Amino acid sequence: MAFPLRKDVPIEQTWDLTHLFETEAQFEAALAHITVSATQFEQRFSGQLTAANIIVEAMKAYEELRKQMVFVSTYASLHQSVDQKNTENQMRIGAVQTAFAKIAAQTSFLQSDLLQLDAHVLEEASSIAPQYVHFIAAILREKPHTLHPEVEKVLAAFSGTFSAPYSLYNTTKLVDMKFPNFDVDGESLPMSYNLFEGDWELETDTDKRHAAFHAFYSKLADYQHTTAKTYEMAVKQEKTEADLRGYESVLDFLLFPQEVDRALYNRQIDIIMEELAPHMRKYANLLQRVHNLERMTFADLKIPLDPTYEPTITVEQSRQYMKDGLSVMGDDYMQMLDRAFDERWIDFANNEGKSTGAFCSSPYGAHPYVFISWTSRMNEVFVLAHELGHAGHFYNSQQHQNIFDARPSLYFIEAPSTMNEMLMANHLLQNSNDARFKRWVISSVVARTYYHNFVTHLLEAAYQRDVYEAIDAGKSLNAPFLNQLKRNVLETFWGDAVDINEGAELTWMRQPHYYMGLYPYTYSAGLTISTQVSQRILREGQVAVEEWLAVLQAGGTKSPVELAKMARVDLTTEQPLRETIAYIGSLIDELETLTNEL
């Protein structure tokens, strides 16, 4: 199946970006206005931040500038994400990146100048404008690692260049990489990134699935050396900045903005690698037995346990599923879900040039936008619920926090999204006594929610840690080195239960999160929190829901440990993680029992 061009996609399958700017001319005018505003901001306040009232005036002006920048950057990036091949989209995002690099340099004085002041001046500013207390505290926290103002200005000016590896990665992956058709028993079948990740990995015909795996990874292999050098460029830039700012390790540098230490980071990776692996090997053995596979390979891990049972589902049917499953979150949350469908917040289309995966963008002052490529598989309900969990988070936080405080630490970011998946599963399990349906729901939770977040992303995190440790040790990266690191991680986790096919070691090439700092491990961190809270909601009902909504509304005003504590989860101990792993194990045991009964 070939995908249509973006211009040929029915409009109802696309999101409505006119909510940001009604016309391209309005966008261009806004970008021009921002560049003027940034210059005026620098002229008005650079070197003038000497008194509390001026500081407050500057922060109000900076807040307004940031709001305008969010609309402009979101408009450009969302256009680009749905059609990477479109030259207008490429030029638009390039123009924004160039302008924003200049603005970053022009506004870098704000932090530098504030850090030169006596503490009592900043305290006075906080008392005059308490809405900025967290913003000022965050700046002060960075003081030990802040460089000379002129150095900060230079680094800010290069911000567009520093993001270039990610742009190059996407260009290689989504523009230059062309997948030919592959043949199975005389049938010519299409291949693309989205087709492989949305369909072929889940294909139940073993011959087609294995042929698709070989075709996909053979093409990735053609680009492995370029992609490896692109990735090396990104991590070496991070290492250089970490050294300049006086961090002991690039890992410490990347964890600093997350407000967590190495202990929490390492614990998340080490305990899952050791204690979840036996449960997932048991799940792999179950898949092998049910599908009567001679050997279980990496190419077989995504197949559904009961493929003949999984229904197809329309977009409108998915709305009702989610409204039923998430109704516990209250009327305001339900209204948000309806608005998301009715006002076209969601891009469902499958078209040429569209990025892979799914995400939610939540521009401050507008509404969230959800990116997904709809395949009509029931599995997509959980994916969409996940992204609408992000939407619900920022829909709540932005109503209660300013632009500086609306976004929490990256460590916490995946808790609200995975919470929606857990609530959906709980609802479905509570409303059916049919053994086969129950097995389908539990297998969906294991194969999608937990496999995706506690296995796929966690194995990426383990590999990523190996990469950064190599960089800290002064090593260089190339494709064979990265391939070996990835294969070692896969073989360590899966042991003798799964044969790691040739090509599986190239899986590192598929993940854009590697260009976003220490992101992969946060999926399991968030799901640890949401598993614990979703169980509380089952036990305690509305009290737990209200506490969770308060967490969402708190945004970034608290650290991840403090946010979790609001929901009565103690991240300072290993208990939540170990309990979550035990819960995953119990689900796999139940799958085995139900399969034996059926």
CA distance 157 to 162: 10
Cβ–Cβ < 8 Å for 454, 276 = yes
Residue 67 contacts residue 365 (beta carbons within 8 Å): yes
φ, ψ for residue 234, nearest 5 deg: -65, -50
Q: Is the dihedral of CA 291, 294, 296, 299 positive or negative?
A: negative
Q: Report pLDDT digits (tens) over 141-163.
A: 999 999 998 999 999 888 888 88
Quick one: how many helices (H) and strands (E) in the chain? 26, 5
Averaged pLDDT score across all residues of the chain: 94
Q: Which residues pair with 188 in a beta bridge?
A: 183
**Average pLDDT over every residue of 278-285:** 97
Does the structure show a pLDDT above 90 at 310?
A: no
Range 560-574 average pLDDT: 95
pLDDT at position 1 is: 58
> In a 3-state reduction of DSSP, which class is residue 183?
strand
Report the CATH fold assignment for 6-162. Answer: Butyryl-CoA Dehydrogenase, subunit A; domain 3 (1.20.140)
Distance (Å) of CA 466 to CA 118, 461, 516? 42, 9, 16
pLDDT > 90: what percent of the chain? Answer: 85
Q: How far is CA 237 from the centre of its chain?
A: 22
Q: Are the C-beta atoms of 284 and 498 separated by less than 8 Å?
A: yes
pLDDT of 268 reads 95
pTM of the model: 0.89
CA–CA gap between residue 199 and residue 40 (Å, rounded): 52
Give the residue extent of every domain in the chain: 6-162, 242-311+385-598
Q: Is the pLDDT of residue 280 over 70?
A: yes
Class of domain 242-311+385-598: mainly alpha
Helix/strand/coil (H/E/C) assignment for every residue in 81-138: HHCCCCHHHHHHHHHHHHHHHHHHHHHCHHHHHHHCCCHHHHHHHHHHCHHHHHHHHH
Residue entry with tokens 């002991």: 248
Mean pLDDT of 583-592: 95
Strands 346-347 and 369-371: parallel
Q: Which residues contact 503 (CB under 8 A, 6 or more apart)?
A: 213, 214, 216, 217, 218, 220, 221
Section 16-33 average pLDDT: 97
